[in-house]
A and B are shown apart, each in its own frame.
Chain A
């Protein structure tokens, strides 16, 4: 099927500042694409470029197979939800939702029918005669969604729609958006700086940093095989452990040596990977380090480590040990007997390991 959205070699400058550099993205119908990255990396700018609210410096934007690079926002067949909701303050909720249809000259009956549909869908019927100022944050959020839904567009654009809500509401709305996406079979581009939001919502994630795409992939790909140190560190909480290490060829595999303060070097033997340079950064997620006996596999290596800190977190207990000059977190079961200052036997699941070049941050395996 033809992609709904295709961004090709998009460049955006504000004056002399390069904000977006050679962005290439394609989305198939029904996909939920999440643009994630730290604040200021150009996510909103990219979304505005897709919407036609910012002129682009180079490249092209196609929507629904048509070149939209120079088409005005209203003719791009899109709908957008903004971070501040951007509801029209002097209009009632109903007028906010129907404004677009009114501007486009749809007849009254159609307007009312669509309004009723959307209001029912979002359960905001009793709010229709209120002004935005009389609504709570969550209600405003729904109205902003309603204004987008009523357009029935080819492409939905969301700019951090949940970031102004409190934590509990955010989780609720998150699953509601996911449901909505499923029910509508809509295509969405969703911007967030929250990697958990990205992981839970996306069918495809684009990680952006400094206006450059770092990686595009499914949530599992991004999580399990981060393309570089930035993605490895940014996605996942607690973050992936990134430990400087020495790799020494060892038969079919590789021997990994990790320096330890005042102790012997930690040695792990990775049987699956080879051809590594001498200096690497080893990346292993906390859940891939378990207490000895709790993880089985062909490439699991045991080692004894000093417990520097124990952090119970309810369902799990995090154990921190200093390896290779960094604090390495292991995610243990809640009933672990680990105590600060004592030794513990840990299992490292090297089938899940990522290796990176220390200087460039590029992934090796």
Chain B
């Protein structure tokens, strides 16, 4: 009898857990649901219908408007030009910061020189400096370099800010690789860069994926640097999204705002879907066995 009770108790517990988890999932999915449905409704339907109702007549007009016609202040070109700004910003910034992080991590983990630990600690410290603190000095530096207001300037800022994280990722990955690997390659005659290209980089796919996802999400979603260091024509999509939502005159076009927000978020979502399983694998990857 007590055995049976025990079993029932376990089943009840299990179901309770599922229901609780389901509720949490619903709670988190609710905003996305509202965004998607609202973006597919006409303004008329939004005014008259309920917030959580499914659209009666599905329309893609708000998406077209958000992409190509919505006004960001006086210009009405939609998100499109800013989307490409963000691409031109994120792709080189992610690539450069990842590559530099890989080389840094390789040096700090495998070429232990005097002061390597101090340099690594300082880089780690860099990860924890709040964005706001660097705004003014960074503006001066960009001005002096002649990069103020340009996309190259933003790439520069994001590369600098990202190096701490990317170095940390790669260093922690490479530190598990036995030092004898470098020694063997040295005896084989390979030098610093040869060993990096031929031996370490090919080993690094999981951690490259982790770093790219992390950096891409950071850079694509960044607003503060974008709004601080860009000017008309070089603004990233996050800044444009803000302008679209805040500069509508007259009636607020919630459906367009929602569509614009989804468009702005789509690339990061895509990166997760495509590379997500490597992300988990990369984060949990143990030492590399030769």
* Cβ-defined contact, A99 with B183, below 8 A: no
Residue of A whose beta carbon sits closest to that of B289? A133
Query: Could you say which residues of chain B place their CB within 8 Å of the CB of A94?
Result: none
A83 part of interface (Cβ distance < 8 Å): yes
The contact string, 1 if C-beta is below 8 Å from chain B, for chain A 44-61, is: 000010010100000000
Within 8 A of A (CB), among B198-224: 198-199, 202-203
Q: How large is the interface on B (under 10, 10 to 19, 20 to 34, 35 or more residues)?
A: 10 to 19
Q: Which residue of A lies closest to B181 (CB)?
A: A86
Q: Are B187 and A132 in contact (CB under 8 A)?
A: no
Of residues 41 to 68 in B, which have CB atoms within 8 Å of A's CB atoms?
none
Residue of B nearest to A88 (CB): B199
Q: Are A86 and B188 in contact (CB under 8 A)?
A: no
| A88 and B187 form a contact (CB under 8 A) | no
CA gap between A88 and B188 in the complex, in Å:
11
How far, in whole Å, are A140 and B190 apart by their CA atoms in the complex?
21
Known A-B contacts A99-B198, A103-B189, A104-B189; the reply to A82 vs B203 at CB < 8 A is: no
Tell yes or no: A300 within 8 A of B by CB. no
> Do A132 and B180 have beta carbons less than 8 Å apart?
no
Chain B residue contacts of A103, Cβ below 8 A? 188-190, 194
Chain A: minimal CB distance from B289 (Å): 7
Query: Is B178 engaged at the interface, CB distance under 8 Å to the other chain?
Result: yes
Across-interface contacts of A99 in B (CB, < 8 A) = 185, 188, 190, 198
Residues of A within 8 A of B183 (CB): 48, 51, 53, 73, 80, 82, 86
**How far is A90 from B290 in the complex, measured between Cα atoms in Å?**
8
Hey, which chain A residues are within 8 Å of B180, CB to CB? 82-84, 86
Q: Are A85 and B290 in contact (CB under 8 A)?
A: yes
| Given A88-B199, A89-B289, A99-B198; A53-B187 close (CB under 8 Å) | yes
Query: Beta-carbon contacts of A277-304 to B below 8 Å, as 1s and 0s?
Result: 0000000000000000000000000000
Contact of A87 among B186, B198, B290 (CB under 8 A): B290
B residues in contact (CB < 8 Å) with A: 178, 180-181, 183-190, 194, 198-199, 202-203, 288-290
What are 9 of the A-B contact pairs (CB < 8 Å)? A73-B186, A83-B180, A84-B290, A86-B183, A88-B185, A89-B290, A100-B188, A103-B188, A104-B189
Report the 6 A-B pairs with minimum CB-CB distance, sorted nearest first. Answer: A100-B188, A74-B189, A86-B180, A86-B184, A90-B202, A82-B180
